[in-house]
């Protein structure tokens, strides 16, 4: 089926079911009232060509081997422009969404994954702009695996309608936090790569995730000016209660940096991040008029490791809270203005804090190598509360390390 150029199909106000294997080519325009949708079945294709557009129309994915390509979609009528939810089959595979331009809408792509599973998803080469909700939200996707989200521009994501937890760039979430990190409760086996983002409150967000990689992120102006009432933290990358992951090659300018923190529900600390690598991160806030988050990490558990390497922070701080079993900090350069606090803060001692139950206590290792943490005058700017690790290796740092306590 083809919608020719200059043809407008308007007032689509109900579901149109695409038979298996059918193709829809949009060269003109399809408009709805917000309730209209195409239900995309098995092996269906929907593509755009020559300026074809969809406005206030939802694409409801309900089959395997579906392809969406070169679509221009907009409209605040539907909650999401592309939806994959409980009405989809119990098991699906091979979804490709390429060259999507989603703009002036609520959510771009919304996945509600508790009731079914999908394997082999490729969401690539998209442009998301002027959205109230998330560009891509992969929610309670505990059954999914093999997901690639890559090569996207995400900009001007700003929730102004009062909705809570709206207004994230790319968000992925499992179900209930659990410090044992069971596989069946986590969103897992995914890659988020090659993302360019600006003008939003939070660019990449993961809750209760395992076995994932976030790499090649470039961010500008990720500040609290956006989604002010949405109740979400300001950070370029926000990780909550996750296990076994890598963050690599992240560049941020005039932006809140990274928050790697606890899994918390209604004020209860349920899990702490563990077993992760943070590598090759650059954050430059020298031209920011306000204090923005630098790199803030909480990590722990009895058998765990954290590796933080190749950081270059300007007008930003690195904070490490709680105590993983093995902590490696290497090749780190930090400059933070004195009026905004220490450049490096190591806060290991939570014995009198409820979060102290996550502290590693046996066979602990602290390795510090090639670290330069200074204020604007080039003076050492470091705050360390207490070191009681069993093994301590320190070399080429510009600050004294407190005497080991027992």
Average pLDDT over residues 173-191: 98
**Is residue 404 scored above 90 in pLDDT?**
no
Q: State whether residue 227 is helix, strand or coil.
A: coil
Residue 255: C-alpha distances to residues 19, 155, 157, 166, 225 (Å)? 46, 13, 14, 19, 11
All structural domains of the chain with their residue ranges: 2-397
Instruction: State percent of the chain over pLDDT 70.
Output: 100
Average pLDDT over residues 29-49: 97
**Is residue 347 scored above 90 in pLDDT?**
yes
pLDDT at 403: 81
User: Class of 2-397 per CATH?
Assistant: mainly beta
Instruction: State percent of the chain over pLDDT 90.
Output: 98
**Is residue 102 scored above 70 in pLDDT?**
yes
- Token pair recorded at residue 259: 């928050």
Q: Which of 109, 115, 105, 79 is nearest to 96 (CA)?
A: 109
Average pLDDT over residues 101-110: 99
Largest separation between any pair of C-alpha atoms in the chain: 78
**Is residue 254 scored above 70 in pLDDT?**
yes
pLDDT at 252: 99
User: Cα separation of 399 and 104, whole Å?
Assistant: 50
HSE toward the beta carbon, residue 42, CA cutoff 13 A: 5
* Beta carbons within 8 Å of 20's beta carbon, 6+ residues apart: 41, 42, 43, 44, 63
Q: CA 316, 152, 194: angle at the middle one, nearest 5?
A: 55
Residue 33: C-alpha distances to residues 30, 74, 75, 103, 272 (Å)? 11, 12, 9, 17, 44
* pLDDT tens digit sequence for 219-229: 999 999 999 99
* Beta carbons within 8 Å of 176's beta carbon, 6+ residues apart: 185, 208, 265, 270
pLDDT at 96: 99
pLDDT at 74: 99
Q: Which comes out higher in pLDDT, residue 1 or 98? A: 98
- 355 phi and psi angles, rounded to 5 deg: -75, -5
Q: What is the pTM of this model?
A: 0.97
pLDDT at 406: 65
* pLDDT tens digit sequence for 260-272: 999 999 999 999 9
End-to-end CA distance of the chain: 75
Q: Which of 149, 105, 148 is nearest to 128 (CA)?
A: 105
Provide the pLDDT confidence category of residue 81 given band limits of 50, 70 and 90. Answer: very high
- Round the average pLDDT of the chain to a whole number and report it: 97
- 124 phi and psi angles, rounded to 5 deg: -135, 155
Provide the pLDDT confidence category of residue 405 given band limits of 50, 70 and 90. Answer: confident
pLDDT at 165: 97
User: Cα separation of 406 and 396, whole Å?
Assistant: 25
User: Cα separation of 236 and 72, whole Å?
Assistant: 26
């Amino acid at each position: 089926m083809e919608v020719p150029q200059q043809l407008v199909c308007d007032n689509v106000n109900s579901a149109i079911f695409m038979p298996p294997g059918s193709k829809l080519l949009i060269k003109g325009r399809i408009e709805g009232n917000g309730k209209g949708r195409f239900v995309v079945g098995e092996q269906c294709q929907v593509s755009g060509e020559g300026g074809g557009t969809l406005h206030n129309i939802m694409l409801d994915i309900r089959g395997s081997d579906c392809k969406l390509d070169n679509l221009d979609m907009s409209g605040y009528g539907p909650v999401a422009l592309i939806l994959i939810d409980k009405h989809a089959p119990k098991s699906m595979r091979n979804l490709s969404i390429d060259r999507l331009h989603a703009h002036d809408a609520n959510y771009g792509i919304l996945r509600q994954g508790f009731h079914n599973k999908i394997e082999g998803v490729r969401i690539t080469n998209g442009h998301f702009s002027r959205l109230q909700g998330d560009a891509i939200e992969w929610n309670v996707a505990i059954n999914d695996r093999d997901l690639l989200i890559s090569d996207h521009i995400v900009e001007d994501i700003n929730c102004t309608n009062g909705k809570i937890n709206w207004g994230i760039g790319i968000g992925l979430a499992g179900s209930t936090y659990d410090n044992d990190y069971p596989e069946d409760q986590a969103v897992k086996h995914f890659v988020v790569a090659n993302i360019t983002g600006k003008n939003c409150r939070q660019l990449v967000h993961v809750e209760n995730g395992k076995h994932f990689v976030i790499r090649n992120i470039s961010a500008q102006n990720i500040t609290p000016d956006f989604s002010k009432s949405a109740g979400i933290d300001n950070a370029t990358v926000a990780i909550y209660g996750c296990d076994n992951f890598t963050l690599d090659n992240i560049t941020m300018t005039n932006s809140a940096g990274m928050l790697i923190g606890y899994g918390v529900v209604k004020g209860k600390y349920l899990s702490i991040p563990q077993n992760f690598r943070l590598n090759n991160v650059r954050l430059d806030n020298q031209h920011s008029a306000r204090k923005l988050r630098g790199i803030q990490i909480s990590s722990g558990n009895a058998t765990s490791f954290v590796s933080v390497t190749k950081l270059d922070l300007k007008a930003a701080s690195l904070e490490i809270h709680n105590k993983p079993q093995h902590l490696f900090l290497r090749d780190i350069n930090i400059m933070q203005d004195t009026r905004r606090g220490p450049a490096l803060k190591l806060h290991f001692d939570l014995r009198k804090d409820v979060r102290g139950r996550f502290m590693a206590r046996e066979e602990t290792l602290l390795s510090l190598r090639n670290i330069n943490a200074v204020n604007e005058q080039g003076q050492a700017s470091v705050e360390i509360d207490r070191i009681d690790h069993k093994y301590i290796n320190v070399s080429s740092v510009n600050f004294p390390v407190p005497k080991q306590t027992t």
